[in-house]
Structure 1
Amino acid sequence: MALTGAGMSTASGIPDYRGPTGSQRKGSPMRYEEFLHDPEGRRRYWARSYVGWWQIATARPNAAHAAVADLQRSGAVGAVVTQNVDGLHQAAGSGRVLELHGTLARVVCLDCGAVVPRVQMDRRLRSANPGFAEAAESVADELRVNPDGDVDLPEDLVASFVVVPCPVCEVGTLKPDVVYFGEPVPKDRVERAYDLLELAPALLVLGSSLTVMSGYRFVRAAVRRGQPVAVVTDGATRADGDPVLKVAAPVQELLPQLVSDLASQPDDDSAEPAEALAASR
């Protein structure tokens, strides 16, 4: 099983919150309690997300995503459990992808439970806020997207933004179908990930610092069961003190080499993925 994190998508132009040092980057993500209980916080999120979302939606898979899809096709990797919300694994051709933290491609109503495509939400926001995107571009030299798909905007511009209600119940609060910081991952999703891990002979962690428990728990479970664990990421991780194979390298550079190494092995004497990974160091 592959467990993937934000480092998979940095080469696609989507930044992570923590760089190679593992420290928190400048800027804080939206927190669940703020979104639920602070109308101005929701307005700020939707204004910033309205401007930044298309940079996420138009991002393209990079060599690391393509390599994971190749590893799946070869049988070296089974299921992919991703902490990312950008859909780039599926865009690269991966199947059996479990989106642990949800996806930015959908919006859910917190009142009636309706789920609508994000593109529909974008059209409604555009209609309710004519000229807003152009105004945002005019006040920023460079609009840099944050990891959760929003951009920093002046507060006076944010204050003019109109947030639209649910198109189904017409009054409900809409939220991206993603797990915010401080929000629990749905229990059934976590259980499904554990089931996939139990079926796997080994765990391969790609592009994750494992700083948050939502991903690190699977490393802990694998270690307890005696399953081999390999971690490939460019920097420190929470698992550095655990009995794992650690390869400190950018995934977009190492994974294509791993695919090549596996493909070069004779059919009757194929190297195990872990052995090929160690040889790629």
Structure 2
Amino acid sequence: MTETFDALTRLVAAGDVVVLSGAGLSTESGIPDYRGPSGAARRHTPMTYQAFTRDAQARRRYWARSHLGWRLIARAAPNAGHHAVARLQAAGLLAGIITQNVDGLHTAAGATGVVELHGRLDEVTCLDCGNLTSRDELDRRLREANPGFDAHIAQVNPDGDVDLPDEAVAGFRTVDCGICGTGMLKPDVVFFGETVPAPRVAECFTRVERARALLVLGSSLTVMSGRRFVIRAAKHGIPVAIVNQGPTRGDGYATVALDAPLGATLTALADRVAGPTRQGSVHPAGPGGRTGRPGPPRAGLAPTGGQPATV
């Protein structure tokens, strides 16, 4: 463990690291993971974009569940892992942060220029007029439309919804866009069956290809959405480091793989390479764009192990 942590430290200390984070980074903030130690298997089929847009009953079920689950997401605060990543960025060691999470906790911890691959739950878009509003505003409108709505929350899922029986949501009232008056509202996240916007994916590939190393945090890399960046890094001879609790589908590409709790491990890493925390050294980021400008190309370091990359 010590030798692996030392190898991770050397990799990050060299700088120009791109971070790719997943749901496991947010479990210490109280948001469960599907596949990690705190995870639980889904009890219902994930909402697809096709079902959401074509089936009014499916939308009602989604918004009823999400309306209750949003309370957990809204209360969540950045944990030690998020703050450690922000410290690494403030120390000039990161060339970018890509997250598969939709909770906005990297930005809340003070990180800037975060590429949110799958969007954010705290924003809502109108599929007709394109208007973007805050989830807090939608929450207020849904509370007004559903006074006294309450139900037993059996399981809160990582994407911010809850498991509810159909009879509990039969009377739930949805609302339309508050700007155009009739438009269909959707959380500004990528649903199953929906593709990540091509420019966003392209920017992530660019960041990875220009990095000196890729650091994966809290992702099992089960789905290709995140694993493709690990494959791309390996293909370009860029070392990959993975910190996760449990095995991942990217371990075969990793130069360094550490199975350990994220919060304590990343705090120790930041202490080692960025110096101890100083009060006021990291400030929360204000509102702004969700992507930053990639840095100049850097020379990659050949990985010392792993499997040949295949695409």
TM superposition score category, shorter chain reference: 0.7 to 0.9
Alignment match, 1:153? 164
User: Structure 1 residues 146 and 222 mapped into 2: Cα distance closer, same or farther (>3 Å)?
Assistant: same
1:84-95 matches, within 5 Å, as: 84-95=101-112
Structure 2 vs 1, CA of residues 3 and 146 (structure 1 numbering), >3 Å: closer, same or farther? same
Q: How does 1:103-182 map to 2 (within 5 A)?
A: 103-132=120-149, 135-136=150-151, 140=152, 143-182=154-193
How far has the Cα of 1:29 moved from its partner?
Answer: 2.5
2: CA distance, partners of 1:264 / 1:4: 22
Aligned to 1:63: 80
Query: Per-residue deviation at 1:81?
Result: 0.4
**Quick one: structure 1 residues 22 and 123, their matched pair in 2 at CA, closer, same or farther if it must change by over 3 Å?**
closer
Quote the RMSD (CA, aligned, Å): 2.0
Give the Cα separation in 2 of the matches to 1:54 and 1:184.
Answer: 27
Deviation at 1:154, TM superposition (A): 2.7
Aligned partners of 2:122, 2:40: CA distance in 1, in Å? Answer: 28
1:231 to partner: Cα distance: 0.7
1:212 aligned to which of 205, 223, 231: 223
SS at match of 2:186: strand
* Partners of 1:21 and 1:236 within 8 A in 2: no
Q: 1:176 to 1:21 in 2, by over 3 A?
A: closer
Instruction: Sort the Cα spacing of 1:61 and 1:22 in 2 relative to 1 into closer, same or farther, 3 A.
Output: closer
Give the whole-Å Cα distance in 1 for the aligned partners of 2:117 and 2:207: 12
1 or 2, which has the higher helix percentage? 1
- 8 Å contact 1:5–1:83 — kept in the other structure? yes
Q: Return the match for 1:200 from 187, 205, 211.
A: 211
- After TM superposition, the structure 1 stretch with the greater mean CA deviation from structure 2, 143-152 or 14-23, is 14-23
TM-score, normalised relative to structure 2:
0.79
Summarize the alignment of residues 1-281 of structure 1 with structure 2, pairs less than 5 Å apart.
Answer: 1-20=18-37, 24-132=41-149, 135-136=150-151, 140=152, 143-263=154-274
Gaps of 5+ in 2: 1-17, 277-300, 302-311
Alignment TM-score, normalising by the size of structure 1: 0.87
Q: Does the aligned pair in 2 maintain the 1:21–1:235 contact within 8 Å?
A: no
Contact 1:6 1:208 in 2 (8 A): yes
Q: Which amino acid aligns with 1:262?
A: V
Check whether the contact 1:71–1:259 (CA below 8 A) recurs between aligned residues.
yes
Q: Which secondary structure state, in structure 2, belongs to the residue aligned with residue 222 of structure 1?
A: helix
Which residues of structure 1 form unaligned runs of 5+?
266-273, 275-281
Maintained 8 Å contact 1:47/1:158: yes
- Conservation of the 8 A alpha-carbon contact between 2:240 and 2:253: no
Instruction: Confirm or deny: 8 A CA contact 2:88 2:274 kept in the other structure.
Output: no
Distance 2:203 2:174 in 1: 34
Distance in 2, matches of 1:231 and 1:36, equals 37
User: SS where residue 249 of structure 2 aligns?
Assistant: coil
Deviations 1:86-123 (A, max 9, x none): 01001111112110000011111112211111111111
The whole-number CA distance in structure 1 between the counterparts of 2:254 and 2:70 is: 39
Match of 2:282 in 1: none
Where does residue 270 of structure 1 map in the other structure?
Answer: none
Q: 1:196/1:39 Cα in 2 relative to 1: closer, same or farther (>3 Å)?
A: same
Cα pair distance change 1:150/1:243, threshold 3 Å: closer
| Matched letter for residue 122 of structure 2 | A
Deviations 1:187-214 (A, max 9, x none): 0110111122222111000000111111
SS at match of 1:9: helix
Give the share of equivalent positions with the same residue, in percent. 56
| 2:308 matched residue in structure 1 | none
Question: Residue type matched to 1:217 in 2?
Answer: R
Q: How many residues align?
A: 260
* Secondary structure of 2:28 counterpart: helix
